[in-house]
Amino acid sequence: MPSNNKICEEVKQNILAITKERYIDFGPTFLREKLLENHDIDVSRETLRKWLIAENIWSAKSCSKIRIHQLRERRSCFGELIQIDGSPHDWFEGRRDKCCLLVLIDDATGKIVHLRFEEAETTEGYFRAMLDYIKQHGLPIALYSDKHSIFRVNMPETIHEGETQFKRAMDDLGIKIIYANSAEAKGRVERTNQTLQDRLVKELRLAGISAIETANKFLPGFVEKHNKKFAVEPKSKIDAHRPLNLSDEGLNLIFSIRTMRTASKNLELSYDNMVYQIQVVGQGYTLRHAKILVCKDLDGNVSVVYKNKKLEYKCYRKQKHNGAIVDT
C-alpha cells in the first residue's frame, strides 16, 4: 500500500495532468472552482497556486502602480441604475470572427441583468438587448453609459434633433440616460468586462461553443452562476423596476429604427429603395405633404405612421421608369 505522501503525489500529478489538458491558462481561483465543479476535486487555492508556479504553468501577477480613483457610492435599489456597455473582443479565441458582448449590470447589486452577443456594437443590437432585459425585469429608472454615438448625438444620426434612435426609444419608455465622463466613472461595468473576458472566454472554450447563436443560449446559465459568486445585497429591498405595460406591437414600434419622410401629393414616399403609397378612403388631402414616420422593427417589418396611427400602404420597388407592385 503506498504511503500517504505517495498518494498525495499521485493526486497532485493527476490534478496537474487535468490542468495541462483542459485548464492550462486558468488562474488558481478559477481552476479550483472548475476542479470542484467538473471533477469533484477539492484543493485549496493556495495549494494550487504553489503547484502552478512550480510547474511554470502560472505566474503571480506583478504589482503595478495603483491609480487611485474615488469610488462612486452604489445606488440603493435594484433597478435604480443599470450600467450598459459593449465589449468588443475575441470571445471565441479565433474559432470565429471577433464580435461584441453587450453587458448590462445593476449598480446596486453588481448583478449582470443581461448579456448578449452581437456581431458589432450597433443600435439594433442594443435594442435587442434592452428588449430582452425589460421583458424579464421591467423598466429601470436610469441607464449609465459612455458617450458612444449610439447613446447620444456626437454627429447627427436620426429624426429628432439632439437625440439618437436609442435615446428616443428610452425617452418613450421613461428611462433616463446618464453619461459617464470617463472609463473610470463606469468602473463597475469595466471591471465586469475584464472578468468576463477571462472567465466567459474559458467557459465558451470548455463548452465547445463557436457560434453566436449557441453562445447566446449558453449565457443565461453562465449569468446565474456568475451572479451567485459576485453579486452583493442592495441597501434597500425595494425593486425599483417599473412594470412594463405595453403590448408587443407597442414595443416593436418603440424599438424600431425611425425615419421621417414627406408624403407627395400622390401620397407616396421613398424609403430604402422602395416606394410606399399610402392607401386611404376618400381623397386623403390631409396627408398630402404631411410628415410621415417610417418605422423598421427588429424583424425588418416596416410600419408607416401618422399621428400615432398606422397607415395601410402598397409597396413598389423603385425603378427608373415603371414600378412593379411587390407587396401590400
Contact 291, 262 (CB under 8 A): yes
Joined grid coordinates for residue 127 = 435594442
**Residue of 144, 78, 137, 142 whose CA lies nearest to 109:** 78
DSSP notation for 53-104: HHTTS--PPPPPPPPP-PPPPPPSSBTS-EEEEEEEE-TTTTSS--EEEEEE
In one-letter notation, the amino acid at residue 26 is F
Question: Which residue in 187, 177, 154, 160 sits closest to 70, CA to CA?
Answer: 187
R_g over Cα of the chain: 26
pLDDT in tens, the chain (328 residues): 444 455 488 888 899 999 888 998 899 999 999 899 999 999 898 988 888 888 888 887 655 554 545 567 889 999 999 999 999 999 999 999 999 999 999 999 999 999 999 999 999 999 999 999 999 999 999 999 998 999 998 755 445 556 899 999 999 999 999 998 866 667 778 899 999 999 999 999 999 999 999 999 999 999 999 999 999 999 999 999 999 999 999 999 999 999 999 999 999 999 999 999 999 887 678 899 999 999 999 999 999 999 989 999 999 887 765 555 555 4
pLDDT digits (tens, 9 = 90+) for 230-269: 999 999 999 999 999 999 999 999 999 999 999 999 999 9
Q: Would you list the DSSP string of 243-295?
A: P----HHHHHHHTSEEEEEE--TTSEEEETTEEEEEE-SS--GGGTT-EEEEE
Domains and CATH numbers, the chain: 4-54 (no CATH), 82-230 (3.30.420.10), 256-327 (no CATH)
**What grid cell was written down for 246?**
405595453
